[in-house]
Amino acid sequence: MHLILHKLKEVACSVVPIVLFVLCIHFFTVEIPSTLLIRFLIGAAFIILGLTVFLLGVDIGVVPLGNMTGKLLARSNKLIIVLLSGVLLGFFISIAEPGLMVLSNQIAIVSNGALPSMLILIVVSIGLAILLAVGFIRIFYRLSLSKILIVLYGIIVCLSFFSSSHMLAIAFDASGSTTGILAVPFILSLATGISQLRKDSKSSEMDSFGLVAIASTGAILSVLIMGIVSPFTYESQMMQLTSIDMEFVLLPFINELSNSVSDSLLAILPLSVIFLILQKFFFRLKHRQVRKYLTGFIYAVLGLFLFLMGVNAGFMDVGLYFGQQLVTLDNQWIILWIAFVLGVLTILAEPSVHVLTAQIEEVTSGSIRRVIILIALALGVGIAIVFAILRILIEPLQLWHFLLPGYIMCLLLMKFTPKLFVGIAFDAGGVATGPMTATFIFAFVQGAAQAYGNADMLVDGFGMIALVAMMPIITIELLGVLYKGKGDVK
Amino acid sequence: MNCFEIITFIVGENQGSKVLQKAKKCGVNGGTVIKAVGTVSDHLCQFLSLYDERKEVVIMACNTQVAKLTMNTLSQAFKFHKPNHGIAFSVLACQLIGFENCHTVESEEEKSMYHAIYTIVNRGNAEDVIEAAKAGGSKGGTILNARGSGISETMRLFQLEVEPEKEVVLILSKKDTSNKIIENIRSALKIDEPGNGIIFVQDVVRVEGIYE
């Protein structure tokens, strides 16, 4: 019981701040209609409950499975097995990712069917799969993470010169959505599983991170290449003001029901199949442990379902409403400040962030405290949202005006920050773009773009995800520089 | 008797650093925090498969006088008298090296009724150890992840040097039940065959936070 209460308290501490902040805005700046407010509060309760159950499930089911799978791969001691299983694992995890399905449908629509959604799904999954295998090789052959990242991002920069701005936006969003809510904990724990075997614990710390970072570049690369190989003409579509349904308080929850059920079941499917196959042929665990993992999966599905319900039905409309209302205020400083605080607080409620910070504490035996990483991560996301809003307010500002210098900074800082932090930083970039950011904040930015007018649906909508994926890398690398200054980490 | 003591605190997640801070105020020089997993005996939690509770183990060394003070102060501060708030015990050590300002003091010999049983087994077997110990009358145990190897060489997988993974199980038991627990673990895990693990037992000087 103690365990559940402890988790509940931890989750409540990370969700309550955002609720209080929204209430503050409600009382002092923009009044929210009562239907929306009630939905928001119900949604918050769903999120707290769902996140608690989900994280319990990740703890006892998903993370141990990832650890064991990683060790199994290492023990095989055969390159071909590692490569094949890396590709297979990556492909299955990615192809069943609900976020990626939504994205591929959107691309199919904006390309007027020139790029069918099934093609996109497969291309992105292959990209992720190949890069996941590359990530494995990097750990097994102890290649330097910084060098691999420089090469990968170098290729991305080269490709982006040949790509249109909408393709660029889609590509970065693809990387955000493939590293989804269950894939991230699994990939993270694969890496730590392999690294735990190492004799040298200092380098084992470093190898625990970076796999998510490498895998997520796979999605960017594959989308960019696809856009260059089969270019399509995209007519800029103006955004319409999304109207918010205000009639019945509970209506969106009922509408969301089937979506959330199928999304959460779909997300756990590949992991369950992987577990059952490996259990049958390799693990041969005892009954008690099998039961534990399977219960863990059930918790994960249940928690995910509640969480998605809360976010989609409760939070999204409030985000949209805020965006629409705040951007029309005369004093534009207000929306920038609110955007910053919203970014900082929302990231605290992001499921994968909990998993990443727990992993960091675990791997470093608690010498890097999770609070410190959280602060850096939250500041990064806060700044990213401010940039996203600025880009809407100031028209000449383009996405690459932020992305190019930003990524150059990421790569330069790698020279000055401890190696451990390079891995953590780039992983955090993938982790930050989870379901909370992709719905609540996304709706907020979209609402602002709609109400301000002259905003393009694709470029303005998706660009924000790319910013959220980039800024935490910079802030966490800066944190690493500070750590190095204090001499705590070599 | 001139002696030093090694005190071990087993507390909840993220409390290790607090223990260390408070202990320093009592005169302890420093300590080591290890992440561990404890067992839960609650039936509902067993049913829900939530039986692994994260713990932190803090190990500190000091002389008997400081040890007594630290254990008393901390067991009050962390409410060890309530169930599930933590356990502390100390064992004797004959030498401390690398410590400044740690002088021995004269003290009368104490005897508690407890043994600390350490079982080191290959990764994955710790739960069997705990099960066997429970059958022998133990209330639970704490699992520490570790790695190490005997005289056999380290393996090499790809470019990685790998050592076999181990788990250390720490069980506190009354002296009259400890024999049965040890025998149970010994037979359940076939400890007598080479490569299956080792058991060692320490005499505990003093405990806080255990209930019968």
Measured distance CA(A423)–CA(B67) in Å, rounded: 41
**Residue positions counted in chain A:** 490
Nearest in space to B92 (alpha carbons), one of B18, B8, B156: B8
Tell me which of A2, A53, A285, A369 to substitute to probe the interface with B (most B C-beta atoms closer than 10 Å): A2
Query: Has the ipTM of the complex gone over 0.85?
Result: no
The torsion region of residue A472 among left (phi > 0), alpha (psi -120 to 50) and beta comes to alpha
B13 vs A contacts (CB less than 8 Å): 6
A292 vs B contacts (CB less than 8 Å): 49, 51
Q: Which helix (H) or strand (E) holds A372?
A: helix A370-393
Question: How far is the alpha carbon of A4 from chain B, nearest alpha carbon, in Å?
Answer: 8
Place of tokens 């393996």: B155
- Closest CB from A3, A199, A366 relative to B33: A366
pLDDT-derived band at A17, boundaries 50, 70, 90 = very high
> Could B49 and A75 be called an inter-chain contact, meaning their C-beta atoms sit closer than 8 Å?
no
Nearest in space to A82 (alpha carbons), one of A148, A138, A37, A16: A138
Measured distance CA(B142)–CA(B130) in Å, rounded: 9
| Residue B56 contacts A, CB cutoff 8 Å | yes
| Residue B157 contacts A, CB cutoff 8 Å | yes
CA distances to A130, A143, A157, A171 from A123, in Å: 11, 27, 20, 12
Question: How far is the alpha carbon of A476 from chain B, nearest alpha carbon, in Å?
Answer: 22
- Tokens (6 digits) for B22: 């408070």
Q: What is the DSSP letter of A283?
A: I
pLDDT at A172: 82
Chain B residue closest to A58 (CA)? B50
Cα angle B6-B10-B16, degrees, rounded to a multiple of 5: 95
- Closest CB from A142, A291, A362 relative to B159: A142
What's this model's pTM, rounded to 2 decimal places? 0.84
Question: How far is the alpha carbon of A235 from chain B, nearest alpha carbon, in Å?
Answer: 51
| Residue B50 contacts A, CB cutoff 8 Å | yes
- Residues in chain B with pLDDT < 70? 1-2, 100-110, 149-155, 211-212
Compute CA A91 distance to the chain's CA centroid, rounded to the nearest angstrom. Answer: 18
Tell me which of B15, B19, B49 to substitute to probe the interface with A (most A C-beta atoms closer than 10 Å): B49
B52 vs A contacts (CB less than 8 Å): 59-60
CA distances to A26, A382, A448, A449 from A452, in Å: 21, 21, 6, 5
pLDDT at B103: 65
What is chain B's alpha carbon radius of gyration, rounded to the nearest angstrom?
18
pLDDT at A161: 85
- Tokens (6 digits) for A173: 């969003």
A198 vs B contacts (CB less than 8 Å): 160-162
Work out whether strand B198-208 and strand B87-93 pair parallel, antiparallel, or are unpaired: antiparallel
Residue A466 has pLDDT above 60, yes or no: yes
> Could B52 and A60 be called an inter-chain contact, meaning their C-beta atoms sit closer than 8 Å?
yes
Chain B, residues 132-151, CB within 8 A of chain A, namely 145, 147
Cα angle A448-A452-A453, degrees, rounded to a multiple of 5: 120
Measured distance CA(A386)–CA(A390) in Å, rounded: 6
Q: Which helix (H) or strand (E) holds B145?
A: strand B142-147
pLDDT at B102: 62
Helix, strand, coil shares of chain B as percentages rounded to 5?
25, 40, 35
Place of tokens 């299956």: B196
pLDDT-derived band at A305, boundaries 50, 70, 90 = very high
pLDDT at A339: 92
State pLDDT tens for residues A186-196. 888 888 888 87
The answer to whether residues A169 and A388 touch, using CB atoms and an 8 Å cutoff, is: no
Residue A131 has pLDDT above 70, yes or no: yes
| Residue B127 contacts A, CB cutoff 8 Å | yes
Compute CA A447 distance to the chain's CA centroid, rounded to the nearest angstrom. Answer: 21
Residue A474, phi then psi, degrees to nearest 5: -65, -50
Tell me which of B47, B158, B161 to substitute to probe the interface with A (most A C-beta atoms closer than 10 Å): B158
pLDDT at A490: 42
- Closest CB from B35, B154, B158 relative to A199: B154
Chain B, residues 80-109, CB within 8 A of chain A, namely 84
CB atoms within 10 A of CB A352: 26
State pLDDT tens for residues A314-339. 888 898 888 888 888 888 888 899 99
Compute CA B91 distance to the chain's CA centroid, rounded to the nearest angstrom. Answer: 11
CB contact set of B192 (below 8 Å; sequence gap of 6+): B186
Q: Is A263 helix (H, G, I), strand (E, B) or coil?
A: helix
Question: How far is the alpha carbon of B160 from chain A, nearest alpha carbon, in Å?
Answer: 6
Q: Identify any residues that bridge with B4 across adjacent strands, giving them in sequence order.
A: B63, B93
- Closest CB from B40, B53, B161 relative to A199: B161
Residues of A with CB under 8 A from a CB of B: 1-4, 6, 56, 59-60, 74-75, 77, 79, 82, 139-142, 194, 196-200, 288-289, 291-292, 295-296, 362, 365-366
B161 vs A contacts (CB less than 8 Å): 198-200
pLDDT at A155: 92
Q: A44-61 burial by CB neighbour count: b if 16+ within 10 A, else e?
A: bebbbbbbbbbbbbbbbb
CA distances to A355, B10, B14, B58, B88 from B33, in Å: 22, 10, 10, 4, 14
CA distances to A11, A204, A316, A323, B43 from A247, in Å: 31, 55, 16, 20, 46
> Could B49 and A199 be called an inter-chain contact, meaning their C-beta atoms sit closer than 8 Å?
no
> Could B44 and A196 be called an inter-chain contact, meaning their C-beta atoms sit closer than 8 Å?
no
A4 vs B contacts (CB less than 8 Å): 45, 50
- Mean pLDDT, chain A, rounded, equals 85
Question: How far is the alpha carbon of B49 from chain A, nearest alpha carbon, in Å?
Answer: 5
State pLDDT tens for residues A223-249. 899 888 877 766 666 556 667 767 777
pLDDT at B104: 65
Element counts in chain A: helices (H) and strands (E) = 22, 0
Compute CA B131 distance to the chain's CA centroid, rounded to the nearest angstrom. Answer: 17
Question: How far is the alpha carbon of A74 from chain B, nearest alpha carbon, in Å?
Answer: 7
The torsion region of residue B201 among left (phi > 0), alpha (psi -120 to 50) and beta comes to beta
Stretch A408-429: mean pLDDT:
90
A74 vs B contacts (CB less than 8 Å): 157-158, 160, 162
**Residue positions counted in chain B:** 212
Measured distance CA(A8)–CA(A409) in Å, rounded: 38
CA distances to A221, A441, B26, B164 from A168, in Å: 10, 20, 60, 46
Work out whether strand B87-93 and strand B4-12 pair parallel, antiparallel, or are unpaired: antiparallel
What is chain A's alpha carbon radius of gyration, rounded to the nearest angstrom?
21
> Could A140 and B13 be called an inter-chain contact, meaning their C-beta atoms sit closer than 8 Å?
no
A421 vs A366: which has the higher pLDDT? A421
Compute CA A258 distance to the chain's CA centroid, rounded to the nearest angstrom. Answer: 23
Stretch A35-57: mean pLDDT:
92
CB contact set of A304 (below 8 Å; sequence gap of 6+): A50, A54, A181, A182, A260, A263, A264, A267, A268
Chain A residue closest to B163 (CA)? A199
Measured distance CA(A65)–CA(A182) in Å, rounded: 12
> Could B40 and A3 be called an inter-chain contact, meaning their C-beta atoms sit closer than 8 Å?
yes
> Could A75 and B157 be called an inter-chain contact, meaning their C-beta atoms sit closer than 8 Å?
yes
> Could A1 and B45 be called an inter-chain contact, meaning their C-beta atoms sit closer than 8 Å?
yes
Measured distance CA(B36)–CA(B145) in Å, rounded: 7
Residue A489 has pLDDT above 50, yes or no: no
The answer to whether residues A446 and A462 touch, using CB atoms and an 8 Å cutoff, is: no
A79 vs B contacts (CB less than 8 Å): 158
Compute CA A41 distance to the chain's CA centroid, rounded to the nearest angstrom. Answer: 24
Stretch A67-85: mean pLDDT:
87
Measured distance CA(A356)–CA(A189) in Å, rounded: 9
